[in-house]
């Protein structure tokens, strides 16, 4: 069995810790590196210390020290940090699985450029269930193209810093593409005051933040006399970790290129 050497960015964060555990438990993967920002109190600690399961891998802030043996870096951090990691990985032949959200157009362009050198899986949500839900939304949007208003409601924990979530935006993009619309032109991100009658060509977004919600997403297709709701609710980040591992395995056969979870899961077409 071929073993993948994997490093984790943001190794002391909530998602990073889940990734460390998932990689340590996988029979075909080895944790070889753990990154965190300089000044983090976790620097120099074993990446598995939080769970009482030492890995023998210390958390580093130096890219070269953390990534010199890595085949793949899994990154669920912040756009600015991910783009710095991306520069290093592209220059040193390390593939990347990117679950970070909130990239602007320049950041997305940098990812596309790096994917000419190394394999990159970029997805706002690595959950297998979410990506199957995206396929269902594409099918539903084509059937409800007329006579239905579309609203997307998402909820996340109080610590999430971007809104709407990357997953909600991806849902909107999938629906807009299926309808032949441009999400940048038809999205409505907030309503207040006298807004006037709803424009039927728009796609609405509502954001909820609070507590420890891992991630809830519901798309409503609201017609006359009926309402269709397609929902996905996450109760644990382990689903994202397992999806990220599937993406890392997929990249083992890709010399370079930019891919999504629909490629990883064979959902295209």
* Residue 51 belongs to domain with CATH number: 3.40.50.720
Closest listed residue to residue 156, CA positions, set 145, 147, 164: 164
Q: Are residues 22 and 63 in the same domain?
A: yes
204, 154 in Cβ contact below 8 A? no
101: left (phi over 0), alpha (psi -120 to 50) or beta: beta
Do 13 and 87 have their domain in common? Answer: yes
Beta bridge mates, 203: 150, 187
My answer on whether 118 and 132 are in the same domain is no
* CA–CA distance, 266 with 192 (Å, rounded to integer): 41
Distance between CA atoms of 46 and 180, rounded to whole angstroms?
A: 50
Residues 111 and 153 in one domain: no
**Whole-prediction pTM:** 0.84
Q: Which residues pair with 234 in a beta bridge?
A: 215
- Of 55-59, 99-103, 265-269, the range with the highest mean pLDDT is 55-59
Shared domain for 68 and 23, answered yes or no, is yes
In a domain, 42, yes or no: yes
Contact 160, 100 (CB under 8 A): no
Task: Assess whether 59 and 110 both reside in one domain.
Answer: yes
Domain count for the chain = 2
pLDDT over 90 at 268, yes or no? no
16 closest CA partner among 117, 85, 107, 87: 85
**Which CATH number goes with the domain that contains 172?**
3.30.360.10
Same domain for 193 and 258, yes or no, is no
CB 102 within 8 A of CB 226: no
**Is the distance from CB of 78 to CB of 61 less than 8 angstroms?**
no
Of the chain, the percentage scoring pLDDT greater than 90 comes to: 93
Active-site amino acid positions: 156, 160
Question: Are residues 142 and 114 part of one domain?
Answer: no
The residue whose two tokens read 């070889």 is: 32
Peptide bond before residue 57 is cis, with ω within 30 degrees of 0: no
On whether both 170 and 193 belong to a single domain, the answer is yes
pLDDT at 50: 87
Residue 52 confidence class, pLDDT cut points 50, 70, 90: confident
Instruction: Please check whether residues 49 and 180 belong to one and the same domain.
Output: no
For the chain, what is the largest distance between any 2 Cα atoms, rounded to a whole number of angstroms? Answer: 63
> Residues 48, 112: one domain?
yes
Q: Does 147 lie in the same domain as 176? A: yes
Q: Tell me if 269 is assigned to some domain.
A: no
The whole domain housing 38 covers 4-122+237-264
Q: Say if residue 1's pLDDT is above 70.
A: no
């Amino acid at each position: 069995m071929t073993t993948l050497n994997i490093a984790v960015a943001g190794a002391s964060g909530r998602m990073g810790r889940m990734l460390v555990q998932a990689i340590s438990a996988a029979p075909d993967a080895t944790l070889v590196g753990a990154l965190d920002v300089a000044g983090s109190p976790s620097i120099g600690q074993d990446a598995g210390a939080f769970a009482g399961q030492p890995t023998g891998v210390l958390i580093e802030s130096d890219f070269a020290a953390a990534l010199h043996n890595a085949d793949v870096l899994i990154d669920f951090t912040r756009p600015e940090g991910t783009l710095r990691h991306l520069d290093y990985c592209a220059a040193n032949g390390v593939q990347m699985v990117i679950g970070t959200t909130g990239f602007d157009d320049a950041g997305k362009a940098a990812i596309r450029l790096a994917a000419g050198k190394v394999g990159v899986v970029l997805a706002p949500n690595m959950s297998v269930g979410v990506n199957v839900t995206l396929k269902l939304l594409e099918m539903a949007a084509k059937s409800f193209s007329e006579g239905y208003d579309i609203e997307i409601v998402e909820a996340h924990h109080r610590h999430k810093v971007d809104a709407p979530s990357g997953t909600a935006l991806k849902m909107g993009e999938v629906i807009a593409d299926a309808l032949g619309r441009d999400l940048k032109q038809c999205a409505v991100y907030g309503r207040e005051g006298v807004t006037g009658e709803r424009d039927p060509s728009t796609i609405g977004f509502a954001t909820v933040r609070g507590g420890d919600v891992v991630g809830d997403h519901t798309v409503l297709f609201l017609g006359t006399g009926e309402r269709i709701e397609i929902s996905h609710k996450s109760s644990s980040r382990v689903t994202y970790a397992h999806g990220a591992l599937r993406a890392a395995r997929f990249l083992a056969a890709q010399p370079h290129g930019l891919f999504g979870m629909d490629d990883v899961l064979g959902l295209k077409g």
